[in-house]
Amino acid sequence: MQMQKLREIVRSKEDKSKAYKPCHAYWLVVVVDFMDSAQDQEIRIDHFEKIDSLVFERIIVYKTNFGHVFEAK
């Protein structure tokens, strides 16, 4: 998953959040399906720039089967 793609997912979910019920905090979990080779790309953390969001308190990327968890915010 490229960082630009992750940013696009976050922005898309922020747009959809207008329809969410009111809550004290929102977390976004992005699940990368290891069986889908199109999604099976790594996010380089050595040059990582945090993703800012006005909606989500935390943005978490989870890669199935490997148990990799990455917090992007």
Per-residue pLDDT tens for 7-65? 999 999 999 999 999 999 999 998 887 666 655 456 555 566 678 899 999 998 888 77
Q: Examine the pLDDT at 71 and tell me if it is beyond 90.
A: no
Q: What is the pLDDT of residue 2?
A: 74
| 3-class DSSP assignment, residue 70 | strand
What is the model's pLDDT at position 21? 93
**Residue 39 pLDDT:** 53
Range of the domain at 19: 3-71
* Total domains in the fold of the chain: 1
Ordered strands of the 68-71 beta sheet: 27-32, 58-63, 68-71
Closest CA to 68 of 14, 31, 23: 31
| Per-residue pLDDT at 25 | 94
Long-range contacts of 36-41 (CB under 8 A, 24+ apart): 39/1, 41/1, 41/2
